[in-house]
Amino acid sequence: MANKTTAEKLATIQKGYTLEGATIELGAAIVDGELHKEAQVRLPLAMMNRHGLVAGATGTGKTVTLHMMAEQLSTAGVPVFLADIKGDLSGLATAAAGSDKLKARTDSIGQAWAGKTYPVEFLALGGDGNGIPVRATITSFGPILLSRVMELNDTQESSLQLVFHFADKNNLELIDLKDLRAVIQFLTSDEGKDELEELGGLSKATAGVILRELVNLEAQGLEKFFGEPEFDTAELLRTAPNGRGVVTCLELPTLQTKPMLFSTFLMWLLADLFEDLPEAGDLDKPKLVFFLDEAHLLFNGASKAFLSAITTTVRLIRSKGVGIFFVTQTPKDVPADVLGQLANRIQHALRAFTPEDAKALKATVSTFPVSDYDLEETLTSAGIGEAVITVMNEKGAPTPVALTRLRAPESVMGPSTEDLVKSSVAGSALLAKYGAAVDNISAYEKLTGKGAAPTGEAAPGEPPVPGGTESGSAGQAGGSQADVDAEARRIEEEILGRPSSRSVPVPDRAPERARAPRAPEPAPAGGGIAGELAGALGGALGGGLKSMVRSMGTQLGRELLRGVFGTSSRRRR
């Protein structure tokens, strides 16, 4: 290796990154300290579902890298999900302005740069931010993920699973925190002590601990994250009318006070997608690419059950056409079993200021294939916007390691204006669907005998306005309600692999139907949970399950499909 000439090293990189299919262009290689724009480094689009890692010290350009990749994925018609923790990624909805400095950089790497906007949908957990509220029901979230949020130990997690089992068995719908609290209070009361004894492994003392943790969650204001309408994860699979993939930005401006909730909620989204999507095999391009920023939050202090569930999801969701990129500081932040599933590596600079840093550097170097670079030196001297890259080629083999000067994003590298974000949210058809919280009859009402609470306030912003918003904004991504319905039909039929339940609207009567209140669904024969579910199911996927629920019968209707995280979407009952 030491005797290779620059020309030989360059030829190795050029040959290794000469690919046949569609690609994500990453940048130009740097060999022996010189930039070579004739040696382009790229990632096969078909290999994006082999997952990846974007790592590097703070300030080295990780967020800009995933920004640049998201733009190209959207252009290729691939929907993208971004955890926008710092708020910088909202700039995708605003075209960047050129400058002499930017032109010099892009010319040097052979990038034909032009400012562009991209179709963006802004979401926020429970409305904590400007985006459209994203909520999940307690039963959908499941006991494993909820235990993670509550920071329960293994014994307490097992006990919580017994509580969920009791609720499932007794048709007690767990929609929000007050439902779960009501079930636990019942089990610890004199009236429910016989039921508690039947659960065996659940002691009254442990139930009391879980109950206190629920009170803590409510005191932190987390109850707004759990409820209805539950977000349909199929919304993440949409494309805009111009064929571009919709970029979904999920924000949480108060991440510093709720890091565990944020990271766990992302795993709920993945788990729900995993349960919904059919097997896809090898595709020319993925159905969705997921970027998980601050990935170390997923794993810090995680239980064995949680880590096992993440590993299983990462391993198996690839065959559903979904790619996951973990974004963090060092590969050591990711457990070995998960790291082994990440075929595409983009490693920004690392710092070695302490003995612990030096140890992490050596561990990082050991995970790369043998190369023509002195990786310890390269990783500590790489500049901002440069990264050491190796990816999986179209034959499933790793490409040569290449120090790369990365391409520049074509939209704003920073936040869009708050007015643009708010107008995008106001113009999104998803606002009418998820904007206002509802509180249907569930475990709390059944156990206390009280009626359902009134519905909550709508999300921030105005009601949807005709005509959409500025070009490239979420309004364009969402379009009219008819556009969303049409896209939902496409997702059900082409991606989820089942007949669509959505009827094609009649144009001259659509306004009347939109204004008219929906009549309640008739209860199916047999009653029980099947009847309640048939009336409650809705959204892009819900209608298709109503007829199935009616045919299930009372006994089968009680059985909840719980996935790898113990999750159970109401849409899948």
State which H helix or E strand residue 520 sits in: none
- The three-point CA angle 170-174-176 to 5° equals 160
The predicted model gives 457-463 an average pLDDT of 47
Which residue in 202, 209, 230 sits closest to 138, CA to CA? 230
Q: How far apart are CA 375 and CA 403, in angstroms?
A: 9
User: What integer pLDDT is reported at residue 299 of this predicted model?
Assistant: 83
The pLDDT value given to residue 304: 77
Q: Does position 544 have pLDDT exceeding 60, yes or no?
A: no
Range 314-342 average pLDDT: 91
255 against 29, higher pLDDT: 29
For residue 542, the SS3 value is helix
pLDDT-based confidence at 295, cuts 50/70/90? confident
Q: What is the pLDDT of residues 214-226, one digit of tens each?
A: 888 887 777 888 9
Scan for tokens 């790793």, then name that residue.
398
Sign, CA torsion 512/514/516/518? positive
For residues 232-237, average pLDDT: 93
Q: What percent of the chain stands above pLDDT 90?
A: 49
CA distances (Å), 337 to each of 126, 389, 416, 504, in order?
32, 21, 38, 46
- Look-up of token digits 């349909």: 232
Residue 56 gets the label, from left (phi > 0), alpha (psi -120 to 50) or beta, of left
Residues 332, 338 contacting (CB under 8 angstroms): no
User: By the 8 A CB rule, do 414 and 88 touch?
Assistant: yes
Q: Could you tell me which residues come within 8 angstroms of residue 276 by beta carbon, excluding any fewer than 6 positions away?
A: 233, 234, 496, 541, 569, 571, 572
pLDDT (tens digit per residue) in 172-213:
999 999 999 999 999 888 888 888 888 877 788 898 899 999
Phi and psi (nearest 5°) for 136? -135, 150
Pair 122, 247: CB distance under 8 Å: no
pLDDT recorded at residue 236:
95
Query: What was the pLDDT predicted at 499?
Result: 60
Each residue's pLDDT tens digit, 469-507: 334 444 445 455 566 667 666 666 666 555 665 556 555
Mean pLDDT estimate for the chain: 81
CA angle 435/437/440 to nearest 5° reads: 140
pLDDT tier, 432 (very low <50, low <70, confident <90, very high otherwise): very high
545-557: per-residue pLDDT in tens? 333 333 333 333 3
pLDDT computed for residue 285 by the predictor: 95
Question: What's at 404, amino acid-wise?
Answer: T
- Give the residue from 64, 61, 68, 60 showing the smallest Cα distance to 42: 68
Alpha carbon of residue 17 to chain centroid: 29
Percentage of the chain modeled with pLDDT above 70: 77
Write out the E strands in 32-111. 34-44, 52-55, 80-84
pLDDT grade for 97, boundaries at 50, 70 and 90: very high
If you average pLDDT over residues 521-548, what whole number do you get?
Answer: 36
**Range 316-330 average pLDDT:** 92
pLDDT for the residue numbered 468: 38
Provide the 10 A C-beta neighbour count for residue 502: 18
- Buried b / exposed e across 337-352, counting CB within 10 Å, b at 16+? ebbebbbbbbbbbbbb
How, if at all, do strands 344-347 and 386-390 pair? antiparallel
Phi and psi dihedrals of 371, rounded to 5? -145, 175
Q: Is the pLDDT of residue 247 over 60?
A: yes
- Tell me the torsion sign for CA atoms 161, 163, 166, 172: negative
Strand order in the sheet with 34-44: 34-44, 23-31, 402-406, 386-390, 344-347, 52-55, 322-328, 288-292, 80-84, 247-251, 120-125, 132-134
Q: Of the given ranges (29-38, 134-143, 390-399, 522-531), which has the lowest mean pLDDT?
A: 522-531
Beta-carbon contacts of residue 497 (< 8 Å; ≥ 6 apart): 278
pLDDT at 306: 76
Least confident of 155-159, 342-346, 413-417, 514-518: 514-518
Confidence of residue 120 (pLDDT cuts 50, 70, 90): very high
Cα–Cα distance list, 153 to 159, 197, 563, 572 (Å): 10, 21, 21, 29
Entry pTM: 0.79
138-150 and 304-317 helices, crossing angle to 10°: 130
